[in-house]
Amino acid sequence: MDIQTRQQLIEQYKEGYRVVAEALSGATEAELDARPAAGKWSAREIVHHLADSEMTGAVRLRLLVATPNPHIVGYDQEAFAARLHYDRPIEPSLDAFRAARAASAAILERLTETEWLREGTHSDIGPYTIARWLEIYAAHAHAHAQQIRIARNANKPV
Going from N- to C-terminal start, the domains of the chain cover 3-152
Helix ranges (H only) for the chain are: 3-24, 29-33, 43-66, 77-83, 91-108, 113-116, 130-152
What is the model's pTM? 0.95
On the question of pLDDT at 53 being above 80, the answer is: yes
| CATH number for the domain whose boundaries are 3-152 | 1.20.120.450
pLDDT band, residue 158 (cuts 50/70/90): low
pLDDT tens digits, 75-94: 999 999 999 999 999 999 99
| C-alpha span between 26 and 23 (Å, rounded) | 9
pLDDT band, residue 8 (cuts 50/70/90): very high
| C-alpha span between 142 and 116 (Å, rounded) | 23
C-beta atoms surrounding 26 within 10 Å: 7
Interval 132-149 mean pLDDT: 97
Interval 21-31 mean pLDDT: 96
The number of CA neighbours under 13 Å toward the Cβ of 30 is: 4
On the question of pLDDT at 157 being above 80, the answer is: no
- Residues 6+ positions from 15 with CB-CB distance below 8 Å: 141, 142
Across the chain, mean pLDDT equals 95
